[in-house]
Amino acid sequence: MKILIVDDFSTMRRIIKNLLRDLGFTNTQEADDGLTALPMLKSGDFDFLVTDWNMPGMTGIDLLKAVRADDKLSATPVLMVTAEAKRDQIIEAAQAGVNGYVVKPFTAQALKEKIDKIFIRVDG
């Protein structure tokens, strides 16, 4: 399982990386915004994308839309981990095809739950 973690704050990338490692996912890579993430996704056969929303360059929501619009990437599960907490935003993300939405600050338990849920659905 190869996972791409996208967040403009390196601290948050490390946190997510650590939590994922704790859950048994050790094959992770990082990008600091959508513009760097998208080419990595296109050339890297990632199985899972974890992204922030609010980033300079290309935001997470735009990255999500770009992923869904790309023939090769459209089926990639996407988990959004973000401080964006407006109802409109969550609905927007859902409509854009997000697979899970975790608001910061989050617990290890919340992250694990969402990931488990995504993979049960993807596998099933």
Partner 1 sequence: MEMTSPLHDSEAFVGELRDCAKLLSDKLNGDDIEGASKLIEQLLEVRDRNIFNQVGQLTRGLHSALCNFSIDDGLTKEPPEMPSSENQNASENINYVIELTQKAADKTMDMVEASAPIALSLGQEAATLREEWARMKRREMTADEFRDVYQRVDDFFGQMNSGTAELNKNLQNIILEQGFQDLTGQVLKRVISLVKGVEENLVSLVRIAGQVEEITGLVDTADTEGKQNSVSTTAADIEAEGPQINADKRDDVVSGQDEVDDLLSSLGF
Contacting residues toward partner 1, per CB under 8 A: 7, 9, 11-12, 14-15, 18-19, 22, 53-55, 59, 61, 83-92, 94, 101-108, 110
State the minimum distance, in angstroms, from the CB of residue 36 to partner 1: 17
Task: Give me the sign of the Cα torsion angle 49, 55, 60, 65.
Answer: negative
Q: Between 48 and 101, whose beta carbon lies closer to partner 1?
A: 101
State the minimum distance, in angstroms, from the CB of residue 88 to partner 1: 6
End-to-end CA distance of the chain: 17
State the minimum distance, in angstroms, from the CB of residue 45 to partner 1: 26
On the question of a cis peptide bond just before residue 39, with omega within 30 degrees of 0, the verdict is no
Q: Between 59 and 76, whose beta carbon lies closer to partner 1?
A: 59
> Which whole-number Å values give the CA distances from 48 to 1, 6, 63, 85, 87, in the listed order?
8, 11, 13, 23, 25
State the minimum distance, in angstroms, from the CB of residue 63 to partner 1: 12
Residues 65 and 18 sit within 8 Å (Cβ to Cβ): no
